A and B are shown apart, each in its own frame.
Chain A
Amino acid sequence: MRNEDDQPEAERPAAAAPGEAETAQTRRAMLRIGALGTAAVVTVRPGIAHAAVSALTCQIPVPQSTQPNKWIKNNGDVVNPNTGNSYPPPSQPLSGEDVKNSLKYGTNYPGYTSQQTNAYNNYIKKLTMGKQGYTCYASLQSPSRQ
């Protein structure tokens, strides 16, 4: 869960003059910079069975297997081949173990550059329920969801 110290620099409130401390506090409440970080609503999401199936044995195809001959843009979008700053997808689905390490420690996927790794991770972060690999991705994160 996000807490104060790793909050992105941009959102940190400017140091308020002492006289306005009280208003700043209320303003802070207003802009909901609270224990939950910037999210005003946090909904409990079920932990996908990471305990049951170790996240490390699942895999994430990039992109969906129903999207043959597509490339991945650096922001994670699935685009046509040779689109600006996009890369060919990995030849094999990425293993849960590699994805977890790459997301946690920034390691590159074996055989791919850091730009490619970054593009693939942005694609993975956009996965939603129902998409291939979502269960695997969700089980990598919980419970310490960033």
Chain B
Amino acid sequence: MTTPTYRTDFPQHCRTHPIDGMTLVFHRPSGATHFLDSPLPQMLALLAAKPMDAARLTTSLCATLGLPEDAEARAVVEARLTDLAGIGLVEVG
């Protein structure tokens, strides 16, 4: 089974607003309001540009943030992808 690809249409169907270094989001389809702390906005931007699997997203995220790519970074990306899928801002497959 190939590793799942994640994609998003963020920020469509959303109202976003920067506040205290975070991104405040009103998501119209769910009617929910979320605070997104980094690295979520950066992850969403990368996925909006090109759907990717977790490995490739980790690579481009670490490149964007100027961070060494390691197992811990991969774990954080995987965990945050689950969070984003949970609130419906990211879709699997």
Q: Which A residues are within 8 Å of any B CB, using their own CB?
A: 23, 26-27, 29-32, 34-36, 39-44
Contact = CB atoms under 8 A, between A and B. Distances in A.
A120 to B, nearest CB: 29
Interface of B: 20-22, 32-40, 65-67, 73, 76, 80, 83-84, 86-87
Q: Is the interface of A mostly helix, strand, loop or mixed?
A: mixed
A43 B87 contact: yes
A95 to B, nearest CB: 33
A29 B20 contact: no
20 contacts: A26-B65, A29-B38, A29-B39, A30-B38, A30-B39, A30-B65, A30-B73, A31-B76, A32-B40, A34-B21, A34-B37, A34-B38, A36-B22, A36-B37, A40-B39, A40-B40, A41-B40, A43-B32, A43-B34, A43-B87
Smallest CB-CB A-B distances: 5 pairs = A44-B33, A29-B38, A42-B35, A34-B37, A41-B83
A137 B78 CA distance: 32
Main secondary structure of the interface of B (DSSP, over half): mixed
A27 B67 contact: yes
A35 B24 CA distance: 13
A40 B73 contact: no
B25 to A, nearest CB: 9
A121 B37 CA distance: 30
A23 B67 CA distance: 8
A26 B36 CA distance: 16
A26 B66 contact: yes
